[in-house]
Amino acid sequence: MAQLEPLHINAKKEDIAEVVLMPGDPLRAKYIAENFLEDVKCINEIRNMLGYTGLYKGKRVTVMGSGMGMPSMGIYSYELFTFYNVKKIIRIGTCGGNTKDINVSDLILASSSYSESSFAYSFSDYKEHITYPSKELNEIIINKALELNYKIHIGDILTMDIFGPYVDEDRILNRIPRNLDIIGEEMEAFGLFHIANYCGREASCLLTVTDSKYSNIVLSDEDREKNLNEMITLALESIIS
């Protein structure tokens, strides 16, 4: 590979931990660093994609935004895995709920991600429309949720190239293979899982439901900050297990 240095992260290699939590919003990374970590250092500010490294209960962890969509997630996850020797990435994001038994504010852990995107085919000629997280990392998160008495829904999610609420989602859902039970919809996980598998690394995706096709409730910015704390705590506790 001709490019020997990352173009979108200006951190020193020793400044990034082996485990990275990735919210979509870089300001959420800042919030996590300021409210959950100790001995925090800002390690990236390029394009305002804020990244921080600090300690959580003595465990070194980096939190960094991924931006919105698979192209952005693909850039940052690839650079982290390839140039910084990151071993694990947990996406901690938001999603829309797609079943009646999942409420706004509930947690979802993706067991797979389905997408109609050409992202993986363009990246490495991968022609399948489904990608998978690390079973081992998912199992750690599941066990930690049980320990903390956190309820999580585990299932297939849909990763789209467009923002779901702006289109007729049912039109897209009706094209999905019937053997999949899509419980949530978002925009990054398919790309993250593919990059992780390509690089031989681990990735998982934890999501908080912020809206649902079966509910009129939509979390406000203030509510999101409060309701995302459970997801953040679960991810952090999982990395120290």
Q: What is the pLDDT of residues 33-66, one digit of tens each?
A: 999 999 999 999 999 999 999 999 999 999 999 9
Coil, strand or helix at 85? coil
State the greatest distance between any 2 C-alpha atoms of the chain, in Å, as a whole number: 50
Among candidate residues 15, 106, 161, 211, the one labeled active-site is 211
Q: Which helix (H) or strand (E) holds 201?
A: none
Residue 216 confidence (pLDDT): 77
CATH level 3 topology of 13-239: Rossmann fold (3.40.50)
Q: Which residues of the chain have pLDDT under 70?
A: 1-3, 224-226
Residue 91 confidence (pLDDT): 98
Nearest to 129 by CA among 164, 172, 66: 172
pLDDT digit string (tens) for 3-33?
A: 678 889 999 999 999 999 999 999 999 999 9
H helix runs in 159-207, sequence order: 169-173, 189-199
**For the chain, how big is the Rg over CA atoms in Å?**
17
Length of the chain: 241
Opening angle at CA 137, ends 225 and 30, nearest 5: 30
168 is catalytic: no
Domain ranges of the chain: 13-239
Instruction: Report the DSSP beta bridge partners of residue 95.
Output: 209
Joined together, the tokens standing for residue 157 give: 């999610």
pTM of the complete model: 0.95
Nearest to 203 by CA among 110, 134, 132, 113: 134
